[in-house]
Structure 1
Amino acid sequence: MTFENLQVSIQDRIATVYIYRPKKLNALNRATIQELHEAFKGLLANEEASVIILTGSGEKAFVAGADISEFSEYTVEEGKDLAAKGQETVFDYIANFPKPVIAAVNGFALGGGLELAMSAHFRIASDNARLGLPETSLGVIPGYGGTQRLPQLVGKGRAMEMIMTAGMIDAETAKDYGLVNHVTTLEELIPLAEKLANKILNNSMQAISVAIEAVNDNYKDGINGFETEIKNFGKSFGTEDFKEGTQAFLNKKKPNFK
């Protein structure tokens, strides 16, 4: 896959997606959002890619925000359409992606950048990371799921403070809040992401896929996550991975999942 604003590589079943707009601190524009959708759609169909690491190019920024120059003159309807299409094609798409997605946050993750990181299934950060939702300082609110996912991750009070003050928090504070799982040096960020990805690869990708669905359903209005869990738990008994995993356990062997 070749893109103008992304770099995508696959090695040993791990796909790494770099957002590559170094002159713009990897800010999201419409073209990059479309390319992200195309990249993830391609990775969904690619059997060589089982786990995805999402990160930014360079040392300064994961994604420093949205490209404000593109929407500064938008009307009400254009603004609404911008948020709706972005959420559908990228942010919700990644959040519900059936393959694990790890966000490796290097440097600034602001506005749409933090929203992109929050759409991943979990996040790790380098010690130079700075995270925040500064939209209210521009006279708007987060439009790519920030008002919904941030409270889910850090709690209502902390989310309200971050959104209202438009301030940034450092990596250690983000870890304390539960926004990121691990903090490491910039040099060790991708190696740590790969280490975690390899731990994931030891397990049943089929089981992980339906576990993602069950966890996500707990946060969706009108859907009973417990019912999804029961359904997917039952379905697991009909898979080859279940037979392989249980037999390997009983025979004290390492499972060989397909």
Structure 2
Amino acid sequence: MKFNNIQVQEGKTTIVTINRPTKLNALNRETIQELHDAFKTLDKDKSVKVIIITGSGEKAFVAGADIAEFSDFSEKEGGKLAAKGQKLLFNFVENMKTPVIAAINGFALGGGLELAMACHFRVASDNAKMGLPEVSLGVIPGYGGTQRLPQLVGKGIAFEMIMTAGMIDAEKALAHGLVNYVVPQAELLPLCEKLAGKISNNSSVAIAYAIKAVNAGFSTNGDGFKEEIKAFGECFGTNDFKEGTTAFLEKRKANFE
């Protein structure tokens, strides 16, 4: 796959790198579309077990949205921008069958933090800075930030971060539960790849069901318990369930196809 603003290193663990270093990897409409196209293709590829997304260079994961693209938008255009972005990328990533890990190197601000929060979990380098500065521009987070941040850190911390438009460092993000790990920058991708390797040893089919069930519990119109029961039952009809239980009884490692 060839793109203008992203690089895709394909493999069992595929690394997607947002590559706009002169813009601190800011998200513009073209980049959002390219990420959608890449993720859509990768999610259909059964050889891809885990996706890691990161930013090029050492300064930024994604430093925000490309403000120059929408600074003169009308109310209607602003609403359409948020709706399209959520559908194409942020909601899309959250509901993918393939696990997506955000490797946060440097700044993850505005749309960058929103993208990281849409991923299934996050690992940060020790120089990472995270925040939602939108209210300092007279707008609010529009790519799911007002919804996902409270789910991850709690309502009070989320309100503080959004209202102050301030940044928090990696250690505070870890304390708040916004990221799972903080490591030196040189260890960021190796740790993500190690975690991806552990995930890859398990059933991709079961993981896809688990993602769906967990997300249902956070959906306003979903029923997490009902979805879990449904998905649990459906697992019994898969080859992975047969292989996993047989391997357990035979005291050997499962070989999931």
Q: TM-score, normalised by structure 1?
A: 0.99
Q: Which secondary structure state, in structure 2, belongs to the residue aligned with residue 183 of structure 1?
A: strand
Give the RMSD, CA atoms, in angstroms: 0.6
Gaps of 5+ in 2: none
Deviation at 1:222?
A: 2.0
Gaps of 5+ in 1: none
Q: Following TM superposition, where does structure 1 have runs of at least 4 consecutive aligned residues deviating by more than 3 angstroms? A: none
Does residue 211 (structure 1) correspond to residue 210 (structure 2)? The answer is: yes
Contact in 2 for aligned 1:10/1:48 (Cα 8 Å): no
Deviation at 1:47?
A: 2.5
Partner residue, 2:42: 43
2:234 & 2:31 partners in 1: Cα distance?
Answer: 37
Does residue 156 (structure 1) correspond to residue 155 (structure 2)? The answer is: yes
1:185-224 matched pairs, under 5 angstroms: 185-224=184-223
1:35-184 matched pairs, under 5 angstroms: 35-184=34-183
1:89 & 1:125 partners in 2: Cα distance?
Answer: 25
Deviation at 1:10?
A: 1.4
2:191 & 2:53 partners in 1: Cα distance?
Answer: 13
Partner residue, 1:26: 25
What letter matches 2:5 in structure 1?
A: N
Partner residue, 1:2: 2
Partner residue, 1:246: 245
Q: Which secondary structure state, in structure 2, belongs to the residue aligned with residue 97 of structure 1?
A: coil
1:241 & 1:47 partners in 2: Cα distance?
Answer: 14
What letter matches 1:8 in structure 2?
A: V
2:149 & 2:43 partners in 1: Cα distance?
Answer: 26
- The farther-off stretch of 14-23 and 44-53 is 44-53
1:7-18 matched pairs, under 5 angstroms: 7-11=7-11, 13-18=12-17
Deviation at 1:45?
A: 2.0
1:222 & 1:77 partners in 2: Cα distance?
Answer: 26
Deviation at 1:48?
A: 2.4
1:47 & 1:216 partners in 2: Cα distance?
Answer: 22
What letter matches 2:118 in structure 1?
A: S
Deviation at 1:225?
A: 0.7
Structure 1 residues 85-140: Cα deviation after superposition (integer angstroms, max 9, x where no partner): 00000000000011100000000000000000000000000000000000000000
What letter matches 2:192 in structure 1?
A: A
Identity %: 66
Partner residue, 1:225: 224
What letter matches 1:191 in structure 2?
A: P
2:10 & 2:34 partners in 1: Cα distance?
Answer: 17
Contact in 2 for aligned 1:65/1:111 (Cα 8 Å): yes
Q: Which secondary structure state, in structure 2, belongs to the residue aligned with residue 188 of structure 1?
A: helix
**Count of residues in correspondence between the two structures:** 257
1:87 & 1:171 partners in 2: Cα distance?
Answer: 25
